[in-house]
């Protein structure tokens, strides 16, 4: 299997370098560069790994999330955007941003707590979590992980996703109040669903 070749933009993201630095190193012979037939620079994966080892760089991971299976097109859009941005590994989730037990989120958190991640790249803050973003950011930073939000000014999230999050909150607290399997709890959640469906 041929070795993967990274574009200059991808290499800069992985190595935390400015394009001019790589161009300068190329001229000085400090980095192994492969040229495309069109003359563009490509950096072999083995060279990326060598430089990461010298710089002590850890991985850069993208994270994408949607609320439900009906939004898979949006999930694919997020993943594609992150990949085009130069992120090599993208962890995904389908579930509410209020759910702390998301499989992908827990995988990402585990990597961070084991000091394996240099940077997490997301499109919007609420993809990572609905609430407590600043707290999560502080925890990440304690483990040497930064968060890069590509699009700070997102359009308002889809109404359906907000409604699903609201139902999740009502379900959680009514479960605490009446018992998670009680008839009363189910009735409260069902009434909330009917109310929000009518609005």
Stretch among 15-24, 113-122, 151-160 having the lowest mean pLDDT: 151-160
pTM score of the predicted model: 0.58
pLDDT at 98 over 80: no
Helix locations, 70-124, DSSP H = 72-85, 103-113
- pLDDT confidence band for 90 (50 / 70 / 90): very high
Note if 67 is an active site residue: yes
pLDDT at 81 over 60: yes
Q: Provide the pLDDT for residue 25.
A: 92
pLDDT at 151 over 90: no
Annotated active-site residue in 46, 59, 67, 146: 67
Q: Provide the pLDDT for residue 156.
A: 46
Q: Provide the pLDDT for residue 36.
A: 92
Cα separation, 183 vs 63, whole angstroms = 37
51 vs 102 pLDDT, higher one? 102
pLDDT at 117 over 60: yes
For the chain, which domains are there? 5-55 (1.10.1660.10), 59-149 (3.40.50.1390), 159-198 (1.10.287.2170)
- 46 sits in which H/E element: helix 45-55
Q: Provide the pLDDT for residue 158.
A: 57
């Amino acid at each position: 299997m041929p070795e993967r070749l990274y574009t200059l933009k991808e290499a800069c993201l992985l190595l935390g370098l400015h394009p001019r630095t790589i161009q300068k190193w190329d001229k000085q012979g400090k980095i192994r560069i492969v040229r495309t037939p069109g003359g563009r620079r490509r950096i072999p994966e083995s060279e990326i790994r060598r430089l990461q080892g010298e710089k002590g760089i850890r991985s850069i991971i993208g994270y994408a999330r949607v609320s439900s299976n009906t939004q898979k097109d949006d999930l694919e859009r997020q993943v594609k955007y992150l990949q085009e941005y130069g992120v090599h590994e993208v962890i995904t989730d389908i579930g509410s941003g209020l759910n702390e037990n998301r499989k992908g989120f827990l995988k990402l958190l585990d990597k961070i707590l084991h000091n394996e991640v240099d940077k997490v790249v997301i499109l919007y803050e609420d993809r990572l979590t609905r609430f407590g973003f600043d707290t999560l950011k502080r925890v990440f930073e304690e483990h040497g992980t930064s968060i890069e939000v590509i699009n700070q000014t997102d359009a308002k999230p889809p109404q359906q996703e907000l409604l699903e999050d609201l139902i999740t909150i009502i379900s959680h607290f009514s479960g605490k109040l009446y018992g998670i399997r009680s008839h009363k709890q189910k009735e409260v959640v069902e009434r909330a669903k009917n109310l929000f469906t009518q609005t």
